[in-house]
A and B are shown apart, each in its own frame.
Chain A
Amino acid sequence: MSDASPPPPPAEASPPPPPSTSGSPTDFLKGVVGKRVVVRLTSGVDYRGVLSCLDGYMNIALEQTEEHVNGTVTNRYGDAFIRGNNVLYISAAEAL
Chain B
Amino acid sequence: MSGQSEIIDRVPKDESAPQQPEEEVALNTILPLEVIDKSIGQNIKILLTNDKEFHGTLVGFDDYVNVVLENVQEYDSDGPKGKIIKKMLLNGGLVAMLVPSIN
**B2-10, B19-27, B28-36, B58-66 - interface stretch:** B58-66
Q: Quick check: is B103 within 8 A (CB to CB) of the other chain?
A: no
Question: Would A27 and B87 be within 8 Å (CB), given that A42-B50, A42-B94, A88-B94 are in contact?
Answer: no
Q: Any chain B CB within 8 A of the CB of A29? A: yes
Q: Judge if B68 is at the interface, Cβ distance under 8 Å.
A: yes
- Residues in B with CB closer than 8 Å to A88 are 90-91, 94
Flag A69-96 by CB within 8 Å of B: 1 or 0 each.
0000000000000001101111110011
- Determine whether B89 belongs to the interface, using a CB cutoff of 8 Å to chain A: yes
Q: Taking A28-B68, A42-B50 as contacts, is the C-beta distance between A22 and B90 under 8 angstroms?
A: no
Question: Is B88's CB within 8 Å of the partner chain A?
Answer: yes
Q: Which residues of A contact B (CB under 8 A)?
A: 22-29, 42, 58, 84-85, 87-92, 95-96
B87 x A29 contact (CB < 8 A): no
SS of B interface (majority): strand
Known: A24-B68, A25-B67, A42-B50. A89 touches B61 (CB 8 A): no
> Contacts of A85 on B, CB cut-off 8 Å?
93
- The A interface, classified by DSSP as helix, strand, loop or mixed, is mixed
Q: Besides A25-B66, A89-B88, A92-B88, 8 other CB < 8 A contacts?
A: A24-B60, A24-B68, A25-B62, A26-B62, A88-B94, A89-B54, A89-B85, A90-B89
List of B residues within 8 angstroms of A92 by Cβ: 86-88
Once the chains are docked, how many angstroms separate the CA of A24 from the CA of B60?
A: 5
Q: Quick check: A91 and B85 within 8 Å, CB to CB? A: yes
A84 to B59, CA, bound (A): 22
Cα A89 to Cα B40 in complex, Å, equals 19
Q: Contact partner of A24 among B62, B87, B88, B91, CB < 8 A?
A: B62
Does B91 lie within 8 Å of A27, measured CB to CB?
Answer: no
